[in-house]
Structure formats: C-alpha cells, structure tokens
Amino acid sequence: MAKKKSTKTKKKSLPKFKIPSFTLSKQQETILGSFLFLLGVLLLISFISFLFTWKEDISEINNLSRNAEYKNLISGIGAKIAYFFIYKGLGIASITFAVLTSLSGIHLLLNANKEALKKRWIWGTLVAIWLSTFLGFFGSSASLLGGVIGFELNDFLQDYLGKIGTVILLLFLLITYLVLRFKFTLDTVLSFFNKTAHEVKEDFNSEEINSETVETPSTETKTIDEEEAIIANFVEENTEQPQTEEIQLSTTETSIDTPKTPEEITIPSESEGDLSMKVEVSQEEKTVTDNLSDKLVEDFGEFDPTLELSNFKFPTIDLLKDYTSGQGITINQEELEENKNQIVTTLKNYKIEIANIKATVGPTVTLYEIVPEAGVRISKIKNLEDDIALSLAALGIRIIAPMPGKGTIGIEVPNKNPRIVSMRAAISSKKFQEAEMQLPIAFGKTISNETMVVDLAKMPHLLMAGATGQGKSVGLNCILTSLLYKKHPAEVKFVLVDPKKVELTLFNKIERHYLAKLPDSEEAIITDNSKVINTLNSLCIEMDNRYELLKNAFCRNIVEYNKKFKARKLNPNDGHKFLPYIVLVVDEFADLIMTAGKEVETPIARLAQLARAIGIHLIIATQRPSVNVITGMIKANFPARVAFRVMTGIDSKTILDQSGANQLIGRGDMLYTQGNELVRIQCAFVDTPEVEKITEFIGGQKAYPDAHLLPEYVGEEGGTTLDNNISDRDKLFREAAEVLVTAQQGSASLLQRKLKLGYNRAGRLIDQLEAAGIVGPFEGSKARQVLVPDLIALDQLLENEK
C-alpha cells in the first residue's frame, strides 16, 4: 500500500515542475523572423559604413544633440552601435554578429533546425574572438581591425607567451576549429591536393586533345552518326544514377575497364591520340537520420539494453543435476534381439515379410525401422498396431507408417530401462549453446539422441497438454529454465499464471529480474483467475502500443525494431524503447476457461493472432484437452503443440489432430509438432530443487527496482455481486436486456457484438441482468438461460420494478 501511495503522490506533483514552453505562432514567427533579418542587414550596413566613416564620426559619438552630423549610412545610431562593436569590441570580426542576426531571422522564417542555429552562434562567436585576437597583432597600426578587445587579448597573450607563442597558440586553435567543425584530417587535406593536381592535369590533357580533334576535318558522316548513337546510349544508360561529373567522350568506340576505385571509372581509348573518358560516380547521399545515428553510435557505441544490469551473471551449469552421471546410452543387446525377433515373428503371423530391419536406441524408446517385402500394403501394418503391441507385451508402441521422408515403417518400442535426459545435458549441448535463436528452448532429446532445440519466437505460440502426472509441469520448467540460461533480464519478461499456486511460485524470486506484472498488483505471479482477465487485456494494450511503435519506426517486427533501436536510429524522446520479449505462461488453462470463459478466450485468441510480430509469445498448458477447452479458435492460433501422455485417442486428436499421444509412456515422453510432422522427444528433466537453485542464484543478484510493468488496464472488477440496485445499472441495461430476450440467448459475447462493448462492460451487464432475474446463472462454457420469454414480459418486469 505504501508503495502505491508514493507512486500516486509522485504523479500528482509532476505538473508543478513543468517548464513553460515558448512556442510561437506562425504569425509571431514571421514578424520576429523579418525583424531579425532586417536588423542584421541594418547592422551590416552600419558596420561596413563605419569602416569608411569612423574617423569623421568618432568625434561626434559622445554628442547627444539631435543636430550632430554623422557620415554613417545609418546615421547616429549606426555610428554608435558600430563604434561599440567594432571600435570598442571585436573589430571587423564583429561583422559576424550582423550576419548571425540575419541568419537567425531566416531560420525563424523558414522554421529551420534550431539546434543548427545554436551551433552557428557558438562557433561564430568563437571565430569572431579568434579573428579579433589575431588581428590584435596589427592593433597599433590599424586599431579598427581587432578592436579594443582583440588588441587587449592579444596583448595579454603576448605578455605571457611572447609573439611566437601567441602565433603558435592561435594556429593550434585554428587547427582545432577546422578539425572539429569541418572534420579536417591530414588524409582529407592530402587527398584534396591529389585530386586537384589530377584534375588540373586532366584538364590540361583534354584541352590539348580537343584542339587537335577540332583541327581534324571530319571526313566520314557515318562516324558522326555512330558517335551520336553511342552518346545517346551512354546518356540513357546513365540517367538512372546521379552521375553529375564531367563526361568527355572519345571519338571512337570505347570499352569500360574495371573500376579503379568505387567512385572513379576510367574508360581508356583503344588507339593512341584518342580521348580517354573519366566518369565519376557520385556517392549515394546519406540521410540525416543515418548521419545522426552513425554519429551517436560512433560517440556512444550501440545501445546496450543490458547495461543497467551489466554485471548480471547467467546461472552456471553446475546448478543443474546430472541424472545420467555422464553415462551414454546403454545398449541392451538381449533386449534388442528379443524385440527384433518378436516384431519379425508377429509380422510373419500376419503374412508380412520383412526385407530389412534397423534399430535406433533413444533415451526411452527404441525405434525399429523395417522395410517390408515388395507388395506389402502399409495400411495393413498400421491396422495391426494393437496386435503387434500385444505380442511385444509393451506399453506405448507407436507405429509410424510410413516414416516421413524415408521409405520405411517405424515401430517405437519403449526401453525396459528408460534413461532420464537431464536438463544439464540439454543446456550444455553444443546445439543449445550455439543456437542463434531469439528464444531458444532445449526441449530434450529425440529418438536419435539429438538435443531438440526449438525457437519459441518461431512457433510462435505453444499449446501443451497431457494427463496429470505425465510431465507437463516439468516441461514448463524446462522451457523457462532454457530461457533463463540464454536470455538477459533485459531481453525477456515472463507473465506467469498459475492457478494451482504451487508450480510456478519458485519464480517469485526472480520477480524484479524477469517477471512482468500489472502496475498495481502485489504479486507478479497471478494465481487468481479473475485477475488474469485484466492481465490479458493489459497485454492486448501492450500489443497495440508495440504495433504503434513499430509502425512509427517503419519496422515489420520486433527484431528489426530492436536492431534499429540499438543502432540509435530511433529517438527515445519519441517514445521508442528497447522491447523485451514477453512470454505469457498459463498453467491449467482449462481452469481458466471454465471460470472466465469467453472473457479470456477472446483476448487470448487476439494475442495469439497478432502478437507474434511484436514479441509476445503464449504458452498455455492444460490437463484436460477437451474440445471446450481447446476450442477451434485456440487451436487455429497455436500451430506448435506438445502432447504428453493422454488417456484416450480422442484427447490426442484434440491436441495433435491425430492419435499417438495416448501411446506415450509418460514421465516426460512427448510428441511435438510445429504444424507439420510429429517428433517424439524425451523431455529434459529439471527437478524443483534445481529450479529453486537457479532462481536463488539469479534472485541474489542486483535487480531492477521493480518487476517490468505492463500498461495499466482500467477494467472493472469482474466480480459477480448480485446487487439489484436500479440506480447503479448500466445505461445500456434495457437495450442489453432486449438484445438477449430477442435472441433468447444469455451470452456476453452476443452483447459485445450487438452493442459493440468491451468484455468487462458486457460481463457487468450480464451480472446486472442476472440480478434482475432476466438471465439465469453462469453455466460454464454454455450460454446462460434467458428467463424472460419475450419483450412484452420484459416490459412488464421492468415496469414492476419501479
């Protein structure tokens, strides 16, 4: 609570410190601009005039009478100002101020860059002081040159450094100015001289040859035509690119040589005495933003999002336990031989001859690939799946007929002694360590013992299902652990929803490093289903905000955006910021759907449809893979699915659109698909104490002041207070009642559609309608019953209430 108060007072006191901004209207700008421009002109005239008339005017300077006569073109005022600036001030260098005043006027009139003007004033003043000091050398003979200030400054320097020292100091200041202002280096000076020498030589040569060609009378008219054709072609070819430099054409056919430098191509002539041609290709102009960002990157380096926690240490590998104690796969020859013989005899019993058989031993399953004799139908083998399983007396035989990409049939048989794939092995695998992915996840090992590393960002959302106790929670921990080992807190944030209140609580320790939450919530991990709705809506707002940022930055996705931001091409003052990935994890999705129904399904579907480009990824896990939980809308937007063992083939079909998950053996045995083929994986095992150690390791380090804050969502509490208070009713209460009574369907989404409302308002209306006895109570995912038969009855009911 205390925290809340302080944030509120902070917010309130902010406007007090607002600096008033002096923005001028267009008219004011025009008036002030013209004034400054003309004032500059006036000053310039009076200064220049003073150079010629000062001797006559100086005697009148102190004469305040109206009759005093001045020779200055701007008369008394002009003479006085010029006297002050030139004679008493910086000498002829003061002309700079007249010019700068005019320039300021022009800047205002054209509404040009104010920063550039500021720079001009600073540099202009420095140059004027330098010039005046330099001209101070001649102060005794021509006092106007450096003015009093120039003379005094020069004198002062000479007292300390002597004449030579002063000259050297002034020379040094000049060099510094040229280098800083015009980026002059020794190289540019040298190349300038080289280029000029080259050009002079070229000009000299061409003039000689031109005069020769002019002298030669053209005898063949045909060659002139040819010449023109060549010229026309050449010009046509070159109009596409801006090549503005001199092009001198030879009088005979030319061939283009390989370019000496990217900018300069010389076309030599074939015969002696002909002209050679030099074509200068002008360089692409750089855009201002490029220049600016290049400069920023040059000065400060690329933006580093990890800077705030630059000392952050990634968890070490020894926090994870090695369950295999370094052993590789142990091949049990006897078991292999036994299974092989049984497969062969079983198939023989069904008159299926085998030409070839090969075994691949995985961590928990062995894959027997068989090549049947020619003429055996694959569907026949598939139909015998149960019989083969029975005769092999093993659980979880899966037949893959045919093996995708191979001309074989696969039979997966569980190993008698399954091996645990430890998270340690998966994390330390080369494949994971070297993964160039946005959000790499080391899932476990495939049947061929390869570590399965997938990119969550590519999925882009993951649906996980499996009966209780088959390894779902371990799977979720495996995903989160992978990301903790690979991503800096600045790069990824988790939004965790855990209605069971036990599975994800461990991650509380890393709240200020990796978690995101709503501004006002106490706990980052959401355990209350009613709060999930607010969080989901807040994520939708975050999504919309991110799309706006991407649109303004002309980027198509978060990767491009962050790259541009790191290269300092996006201005944080325009609201741009480095965008971390956001991973939303919902455990027990079924629970959520059952209590909140459409209110969560719709924002989840919206996020799933749109959030991929802007770096929000969803992982939803459920124990109950029934169709009212994993609806068509959810399925359509979650192409990547993980299925742990489920109890029935129907459940498997709900998750994977095919059976197979019912034949898994449990304990982390899973099937993974990203929309195409199924891969059987043994999920890496990470136990709770290991996760605890990792979160402690991270939690013990310096953290951000708070969890990452999601945008505030000002939704109403989704509470179901059945308070039938007429005065508190929504304005649309009657309309809503009419919609539902007419449709005879008590659904909030109908109200949303018909009355164009948000989820919360529709939900509140439904509650009020329930309280008024117009619709029945909540019935899970089914629409509520409408208790009023028609509009006449509704009118009566509402009339009686008054």
Please tell me whether residue 473 binds ligand ATP under the rule CB under 6 A: yes
Whether residue 780 is annotated as binding a ligand: the answer is: no
Closest to ligand ATP by CB, 46 vs 623, is 623
Using alpha carbons only, give the angle 689, 323, 425 rounded to the nearest 5 degrees.
95
Instruction: Name the minimum Å distance from CB 497 to ligand ATP.
Output: 14
Closest to ligand ATP by CB, 166 vs 529, is 529
Q: Among residues 649, 706, 656, 648, which one has the least CA distance to residue 677?
A: 656
Closest to ligand ATP by CB, 100 vs 423, is 423
CA dihedral 668, 673, 674, 675 (to 10 degrees): -160
Whether residue 773 is annotated as binding a ligand: the answer is: no
Q: What is the 3-state secondary structure (H, E, C) of 136-188?
A: HHHCCCCHHHHHHHHHHHHHHHHHHHHHHHHHHHHHHHHHHHHHHHHCCCHHH
Instruction: Name the minimum Å distance from CB 579 to ligand ATP.
Output: 31
Q: Which stretch binds ligand ATP (CB under 6 A): 193-201, 228-236, 462-470, 773-781?
A: 462-470
Residue nearest ligand ATP, CB atom distance: 668
CB 607 within 8 A of CB 536: yes
Instruction: Name the minimum Å distance from CB 472 to ligand ATP.
Output: 3
| CA distance linking residue 365 with residue 142, whole number of Å | 101
| 357 backbone φψ class: left, alpha, beta (φ>0; ψ -120 to 50) | beta
Instruction: Name the minimum Å distance from CB 558 to ligand ATP.
Output: 31
Instruction: Name the minimum Å distance from CB 445 to ligand ATP.
Output: 10
CB 585 within 8 A of CB 476: yes
Interface pick for ligand ATP out of 63, 111, 194, 468 (rule CB under 6 A): 468
Q: Which long-range contacts (CB under 8 A, 24 or more apart) does 18-21 make?
A: none
Interface pick for ligand ATP out of 83, 589, 685, 733 (rule CB under 6 A): 685
The type of residue at 95 is: I
Q: Which stretch binds ligand ATP (CB under 6 A): 19-27, 94-102, 267-275, 470-478?
A: 470-478
Q: Among residues 248, 255, 246, 252, which one has the least CA distance to residue 218?
A: 252
Interface pick for ligand ATP out of 509, 546, 624, 667 (rule CB under 6 A): 667
Closest to ligand ATP by CB, 306 vs 468, is 468
Whether residue 146 is annotated as binding a ligand: the answer is: no
Closest to ligand ATP by CB, 427 vs 550, is 427
DSSP result, 87-100: IIIIGGGGHHHHHH
End-to-end alpha-carbon separation of the chain, Å? 42
Interface pick for ligand ATP out of 78, 136, 414, 471 (rule CB under 6 A): 471
- Is the alpha carbon torsion for 731, 735, 737, 740 positive or negative? negative
Which residues share a beta bridge with 446? 681
CB 189 within 8 A of CB 172: no
Listed in sequence order, the residues at least 6 apart from 52 whose beta carbon sits closer than 8 Å to its beta carbon are none
Q: Among residues 604, 747, 666, which one has the least CA distance to residue 469?
A: 666
Q: Which stretch binds ligand ATP (CB under 6 A): 92-100, 116-124, 168-176, 469-477?
A: 469-477
Which residues share a beta bridge with 673? 641, 678
Interface pick for ligand ATP out of 132, 623, 752, 768 (rule CB under 6 A): 623
Instruction: Name the minimum Å distance from CB 567 to ligand ATP.
Output: 41
User: What track of x and - describes contact with ligand ATP for positions 34 through 63 (by CB under 6 A)?
Assistant: ------------------------------
Applying CB under 6 A, the site for ligand ATP has a residue count of 14
Whether residue 472 is annotated as binding a ligand: the answer is: yes
Listed in sequence order, the residues at least 6 apart from 795 whose beta carbon sits closer than 8 Å to its beta carbon are none
What are the backbone dihedrals phi and psi of residue 437, each rounded to the nearest 5 degrees, phi first? -125, 160
Please tell me whether residue 595 binds ligand ATP under the rule CB under 6 A: no
- Is the alpha carbon torsion for 440, 441, 445, 446 positive or negative? negative
Whether residue 727 is annotated as binding a ligand: the answer is: no
Whether residue 444 is annotated as binding a ligand: the answer is: no
Instruction: Name the minimum Å distance from CB 473 to ligand ATP.
Output: 3
Instruction: Name the minimum Å distance from CB 690 to ligand ATP.
Output: 12
Instruction: Name the minimum Å distance from CB 606 to ligand ATP.
Output: 27
| CA distance linking residue 697 with residue 510, whole number of Å | 9
Instruction: Name the minimum Å distance from CB 323 to ligand ATP.
Output: 8
Listed in sequence order, the residues at least 6 apart from 342 whose beta carbon sits closer than 8 Å to its beta carbon are 391, 392
Q: Among residues 673, 768, 283, which one has the least CA distance to residue 452?
A: 673
CA dihedral 748, 754, 760, 766 (to 10 degrees): -40
Q: Among residues 204, 217, 213, 200, which one has the least CA distance to residue 249?
A: 213
Closest to ligand ATP by CB, 472 vs 493, is 472
Q: By CB under 6 A, what part of segment 212-271 binds ligand ATP?
A: none
| CA distance linking residue 416 with residue 667, whole number of Å | 14
User: What track of x and - describes contact with ligand ATP for positions 400 through 439 (by CB under 6 A)?
Assistant: --------------------x-------------------
Whether residue 486 is annotated as binding a ligand: the answer is: no
Q: Residue 768 is encoded by which pair of tokens?
A: 């009020």
Instruction: Name the minimum Å distance from CB 470 to ligand ATP.
Output: 5
Q: Which stretch binds ligand ATP (CB under 6 A): 166-174, 428-436, 468-476, 710-718?
A: 468-476
Instruction: Name the minimum Å distance from CB 447 to ligand ATP.
Output: 15
Q: Which stretch binds ligand ATP (CB under 6 A): 118-126, 127-135, 471-479, 737-745?
A: 471-479
Please tell me whether residue 683 binds ligand ATP under the rule CB under 6 A: yes
Closest to ligand ATP by CB, 63 vs 468, is 468
Map residue 693 onto helix, strand or coil.
helix
Q: By CB under 6 A, what part of segment 288-317 binds ligand ATP?
A: none
CB 372 within 8 A of CB 380: no
Instruction: Name the minimum Å distance from CB 635 to ligand ATP.
Output: 20
Closest to ligand ATP by CB, 645 vs 708, is 645
Closest to ligand ATP by CB, 484 vs 670, is 670
Whether residue 16 is annotated as binding a ligand: the answer is: no
Residue 237: alpha-carbon gap to chain centroid:
40
Map residue 372 onto helix, strand or coil.
strand
Our separate counts of H helices and E strands in the chain read 27, 17
| CA distance linking residue 309 with residue 781, whole number of Å | 45
Closest to ligand ATP by CB, 163 vs 501, is 501
Which residues share a beta bridge with 279? 265
| CA distance linking residue 344 with residue 339, whole number of Å | 9
Closest to ligand ATP by CB, 416 vs 782, is 416
Interface pick for ligand ATP out of 440, 580, 668, 746 (rule CB under 6 A): 668
Closest to ligand ATP by CB, 145 vs 504, is 504
Instruction: Name the minimum Å distance from CB 608 to ligand ATP.
Output: 22
Q: How many other C-beta atoms can be found within 10 angstroms of the C-beta atom of residue 192?
A: 11
Please tell me whether residue 470 binds ligand ATP under the rule CB under 6 A: yes
Interface pick for ligand ATP out of 165, 242, 301, 469 (rule CB under 6 A): 469
Closest to ligand ATP by CB, 233 vs 468, is 468
Instruction: Name the minimum Å distance from CB 421 to ligand ATP.
Output: 7
Tell me 405's DSSP state. Answer: T
| Binding-site residue ranges | 466-473
Q: Annotated binding site for ATP, which residues?
A: 466-473
User: Contact residues for ligand ATP (CB under 6 A)?
Assistant: 420, 466, 468-474, 623, 667-668, 683, 685
